[in-house]
Amino acid sequence: MNRENKTKILFVCLGNICRSPMAEAVFRHLVRQEGMEDQFVIDSAGTGDWHTGEPPHHGTRRILDQHGISYEGLRARQITANDGSEFDYIVAMDASNVDNLSRLTKGTGAKVIKLLDLVPGSKGQDVPDPYYTGNFEHVYDLVGQGCRALLEHIRQEDAHKA
């Protein structure tokens, strides 16, 4: 954990309107259910700047509404060079994001991981971009699995540090 004793997590996709804000909202929901929201700083960003300032995609909002998960206040932003040193985990949705993030965060010590690599049996798989596929339900299922696995991964790491 960092100097504030909070684990800082940044979810990243291409435009920060579909997958990464969905992951941010789902992870926030999970830690809120566990009564752990004071232990985390959770954010999301995109590698591109096309949607900066926009709310999540209507498909993301619809699926989150269906599952009773808040996305209030979420707005797209582009990742910055400073994010590499600000966040403990930078969680990418696909291999292309990992490649872009590895270059951007080189030398910062940031842990760049792909979300589904934490899910047993899913290593190497990408979270597909529903902006192109329209399959927000499938993406929601994958993001949920990944976020639960990430929370468990962090718990295990914290237990090893104690």
Active site residues: 13, 19, 129
Residue 150 structure tokens: 């990430």
70, 60 contact by CB (below 8 A): no
d(CA 16, CA 109): 23
Residue 1 structure tokens: 């954990």
d(CA 110, CA 117): 17
d(CA 39, CA 9): 11
Size (the chain), residues: 162
